Amino acid sequence: MNDERMGIVRLDYEGRTVPLRFTWRAIDTLGRVGIGELLDKAGSGQPGDMMATAQLLEAASGGEISVDEAMNSAMPFAPVYVALLKAWSLAARQPQGATPGNPLNRLWTSSKRLWGRLTGRG
């Protein structure tokens, strides 16, 4: 399987390649809303934006890059931020070929459709 299908973005970070991926553990630790808020903060240009980027980088790298290492890095901001956005978008979308929604919702919709056909309402 390729990296994108697995939700992995490769970031060239200070001479090494670091895989970025928002796993369920990372999402649960920060929360989906928390990740969204950190992404907004990271791209805002306001005070604390680099700390937000460092926290996201630590979560997405699975701790391979610590907050302290990121805060002391001379790495340019733009490639890191773009990689984080891409990793989050890959985590937030469904994999290709996945069936959307809850299977129980499909069952409910199918049952309603069948009932409509049986009663002449559909």
pLDDT digits (tens, 9 = 90+) for 8-58: 899 999 999 999 999 888 888 899 899 999 999 999 989 999 999 999 999
Residue 14 is encoded by which pair of tokens?
């200070």
Residue 17 pairs with which residues in a beta bridge? Answer: 12
101, HSE (Cβ side, Cα atoms, 13 Å): 7
For residue 61, the tally of other CB atoms under 10 A from its CB is: 21
Measured between alpha carbons, how far apart are the two ends of the chain, in Å?
42
Residue 100 has pLDDT above 80, yes or no: no
pTM (predicted TM-score): 0.73
Helix count (H) and strand count (E) of the chain?
Answer: 7, 2
